[in-house]
Every structure is written in C-alpha cells, then in structure tokens.
Amino acid sequence: MDGGVARALPRRALTWPLLSPFWPARSATEHGLAPTFVGMKTRNGASLAMLLAVALVGCRDIEAIERVSLDDLDTTERARIDLGQRLFFDPALSADGTVSCASCHLPSDGGDDGRRVGVGVAGQEGRRNAPTVLNVGFKQHLFWDGRAETLEEQALMPLFADDEMAADRSTVEVYLAGDPLYPGMFAEAFPGMPPTIDLVAMAIASYERALVAPSRVDAFLLGEEAALSETEVRGMDYFRSNCAFCHDGPGVGGQRFARLGEEVPFPRDRQDDQGLFERTGDEGDKMTFVIPQLRNVGRTAPYFHDGSVETLEEAVELMARHQLGEELDDKTIADVAAFLRALDGDVEPALARDPFGDRGGTVR
C-alpha cells in the first residue's frame, strides 16, 4: 500500500467449493458492478451462468491483512503520518473551529461517530451515515456514492463541504503558515515545500492509510485456528459462501458497487437517497451504493447508508432478505453476526491518540 504501513496477504484457501451457493448482482455497469446472471441459486450443481460468472470474475473471498510497525517506517513516511494525524484531529481547519475529521471518524472508537448521520459546522446534519476510517486504505471507492477514487481526493471534500467543515482554502493556508508547529512539521514531511492544501490532502491520506486494524479473523486466516470460536467459524463459512462475492478483499468490502434491494426491493419509504444515481443520472444506478467494508462493523452501529438499522443482527437479516432473497433463521443470523464482530480490530495506540487532547475531535 502507498505509505508503507499496510499490506493484504494472500487469502487462505476457500472453504467453500465452486458448486456452493453463488449470488452475483444482476446489474453490470462501468462502475464496477457484478455481471448480470439471473437464476443463479443452484445448490446441487453449477449452472452455465454460474460457471461463466466464475470464469469472468473469479471466486471472490476475504483476505487477511497485517500492518507494518510505525517504527519500521523511514523518517519522511513517519513525518507525513504525524502531520496527517494532527491535521485529522484539528478543528481549527473548519469554518467555526468546532469540527475536525475526527469528529465523524474517531480512530479510537471504531473509526466512526456512532450517529445516524454526520454532523458538521453549526450542527448541520448530513444525509448519510459516516463510514469507519479504519482500514480505509484498502477501499477502491470512497463515500457511499463513490465520488472519490483516492484518499487524497477524499480528504479535501469534507474540508470544503458547506455542511461539513465549510473551510476556506486561503484561510486554512494562512492558519497553517502562522501556527507555531505546522511549518516545521510540513518541512519534515515535505522538505522544501511550503504548506498548501494539496499537501494537507497528502498528509491526511498518509495518516488514513496507516489506520490498519487487523482482527482475530486475520489471525485465523493466517493459520491460528484457535483464534475463532466454533460459532464464528460457522458464521464465516456462511459468509464466505453467500456474502463474499460482494464483501470481499482485504477490507471485506469497498471494492465495487451494488444495488440495494437486488432480490427484494428496499422499502419505498427509505428510497429518498438514490445513491450513485444522484451522481450519474443513469436509471440503472438507482439505489446503487458502494459496498461497505465490514471490518470493525461490530463497533460502528447504526448501519446502512442512512443509519436506519440499530443492530448488527437486524442488518444481517435485512441484507440476506434484500440481497440474497433469503429469510435466515435466528441461529444463522447469530453465527454471521458473531463472525462479523470477530472482524473488529484496533490500530496502533499512537495513531488513535488525539494530539490536541480535549481540544480535538470529540464525539459520542
């Protein structure tokens, strides 16, 4: 990974065979949706469509991750992360000095804010639930509608959004140049370059890439079989057979888009936010969102793009219904939820520290 602090490892051999249940999404667009293959719920044999799907997109699965110690980074890499961490927690970057990146994405507590939707300057509520910032370096698409493709691009959008931090570019640059610490930190992180907004984005992105939080699931995938309980293993087996086509890769999601309500339409009274469609105007993109990463999902309630689901068990039940067309029994729901909670992990303690103490991001 760029930044030198995270890496995804080769996945452990799949525990489910080619002929097991396989449910790709029905819509395919240039935005990375799965190919169209209808009627692919066979359990007793591989249909032609299933075999074609595997040939085209492969058997997707979750992947183990591990982090590189901060102590192993070179001086410049560490300086950029330290600078990015200070910027991430600094509310003075916002228009009224009250909101930092950490206000909605607290690294020490799941990487989110625990609210239904984010809250910006002057108490303005946003439209969408704040995703976790932990492990965000593994994502291919950022924001629920995928409007950013890189962390550098993503870092500046909330900074200048009117309902988030509402910052002014020139005001931020004047503040950074006049601060007693920032000029020296920029000089260490970007030698010979004065503080600029572009360097702010690069530093914050470097910090965000360092927020890698391996879990007990990673230990299991790397061979430590005692890392998971029997219940968690059952949940993992179900998940890898039924959910990993979308929630795959090192982040267990975040790699592509999917339509919410693929098998059973999402309730009409919860379709005000049309996701990707609002960006593209393409009818095929209605109710299409970036597939969320599920690492640390046990700590990031409430769930879904609108923050409308309070418990992980309800989220599992609804996803099985709307995306797979299945009604799960209580035992399977409990198994899957147990596995998902085993994906929780922590970043290095130094990275979770607020450089401003009580003055930095304060939520919950």
Active site (catalytic) residues? 164
User: Which amino acid belongs to residue 122?
Assistant: A
Helix or strand or coil: residue 338?
A: helix
CA-CA-CA-CA torsion for 219, 61, 295, 330, nearest 10 degrees? Answer: -100
Angle (CA) 208 60 53, round 5°: 135
Long-range contacts of 69-72 (CB under 8 A, 24+ apart): 69/348, 70/5, 70/210, 70/348, 70/350, 70/351
User: Which amino acid belongs to residue 44?
Assistant: N
Spatial CA neighbour of 308 closest among 115, 144, 164 = 115
How far apart are alpha carbons 351 and 361 in whole angstroms?
A: 14
Q: Residues 39, 41, 44, 47: is their CA dihedral positive or negative?
A: positive
How far apart are alpha carbons 71 and 79 in whole angstroms?
A: 12
- Other CB atoms closer than 10 Å to residue 236's CB: what's the count? 24
How far apart are alpha carbons 124 and 142 in whole angstroms?
A: 22
How far apart are alpha carbons 44 and 64 in whole angstroms?
A: 30
